[in-house]
Amino acid sequence: MTLAHLFAGQGSQRVGMGRELLEAYPNLVRQADSVLGYSVAELCLEGPAERLSDTRYTQCAVYVVDALAYVDSVRTGGRIPEVMAGHSLGEYAALFAAGVFDFRTGLEIVAKRAALMADAGRGAMSAVLGLDEDRVRGLLDSSGLPVDIANLNAPDQIVVSGPEDGVKAVSALMAEHADAVIPLKVSGAFHSRYMEPAAREFEPFLKGYVLARPKIPVIANATGLPYRDDDIAGTLCRQLTSSVRWTETVTHLLGLPDPELREIGPGNVLTGLTKRIQASLREAAVAG
């Protein structure tokens, strides 16, 4: 069996998450508090929800819970995964687990990423359900609006990202063809061209860190393929402006010998996406 860990990203947060983990690993929690300058346990357990949903805080909180969940999984289960992936922010927890950086360094990098993304300006994102990538791209091209595909979450679940007015107009267009279009509770145009200023600032910041070769393969959002040892920082910068290629990532993992995909972190969003991708692959196999 090939064990793959999938780390949850932004959107999985909820007030009350990680209670047992935060209590079980006080030393790591103290490290987090010293990096952030506030109590991460208070943020996770008491919120308020508005603060926990603020990108500056969300990313740090989810990274901490993801990382603690991994430590706990290995400690209690006694098994290290053969491969890992993380959805957007979750990729940082995967890289921590792979030994690319330690817990504290990872949180420092995540905090900077979160601040840069928050400072990049307002934007919006919407999930389009029931249309495939080609159909969504075709509609975006015909609209002429500066809106990008941010997440390829499943064959029939695509997230678009851009300026608020543009996403609103595109959402109305998509709604004429899709099963549903759902606005996401975010304040920025993540994983789009509008994150380029953040990526430009992030690059020199990452040069201040020594990033180690992954001890366990990590599938990159930007490529759907394992991280290259010589391009970790560059891949992390590209992730800010590139689509999250989650369908390709999960398809790659499902192609490994006897795969077991296990979600790590708060919620079960990735488990649901895995089931959608598996169903699509079965349908394609029957049709083919």
What average pLDDT does this structure show over 210-230? 96
Q: What is the pLDDT of residue 288?
A: 67
Q: What is the pLDDT of residue 284?
A: 83
Tokens of 8: 């949850």
Closest to 94 (Cα-Cα) out of 8, 13, 30, 223: 8
- CB atoms inside a 10 Å sphere around CB 257: 7
Residue 150 contacts residue 191 (beta carbons within 8 Å): yes
14 pLDDT above the threshold of 70: yes
Q: Is 27 exposed, middle or buried (0-12, 13-18, 19+ CB in 10 A)?
A: exposed
Q: What is the pLDDT of residue 283?
A: 87
Domain ranges of the chain: 2-119+192-287, 124-183
Residue 194 contacts residue 163 (beta carbons within 8 Å): yes
| Average pLDDT over all residues of the chain | 96
pLDDT, tens digit, for every residue of 20-78?
A: 999 999 999 999 999 999 999 999 999 999 999 999 999 999 999 999 999 999 999 99
217 pLDDT above the threshold of 90: yes
Active site residue 88: yes
pLDDT, tens digit, for every residue of 178-209?
A: 999 999 988 899 999 999 999 999 999 999 99
Tokens of 134: 């080609």
- How many residues are recorded in the chain? 288
Q: What is the pLDDT of residue 186?
A: 87
Sign of CA dihedral 111, 113, 116, 118: negative
Sign of CA dihedral 125, 128, 131, 135: negative
Q: What is the pLDDT of residue 111?
A: 98
CATH 3.40.366.10 for domain 2-119+192-287, yes or no, is yes
Backbone angles phi, psi at 99, to 5 degrees: 85, 15
Closest to 125 (Cα-Cα) out of 54, 177, 178, 182: 182
What average pLDDT does this structure show over 96-104? 98
Active site residue 280: no
* Owner of token pair 């490290």: 31
| Catalytic choice (171, 191, 242, 243) | 191
What average pLDDT does this structure show over 133-155? 97
Return the bridge partners of 182, or none: 127
Q: Find the radius of gyration of the CA atoms of the chain.
A: 18
Beta strands in the chain (DSSP E): 2-7, 83-86, 124-129, 148-154, 157-162, 180-183, 218-219, 259-264
Q: What is the pLDDT of residue 205?
A: 98
pTM: 0.96
| Catalytic choice (12, 88, 126, 243) | 88
What's the topology of domain 124-183?
Answer: Alpha-Beta Plaits (3.30.70)
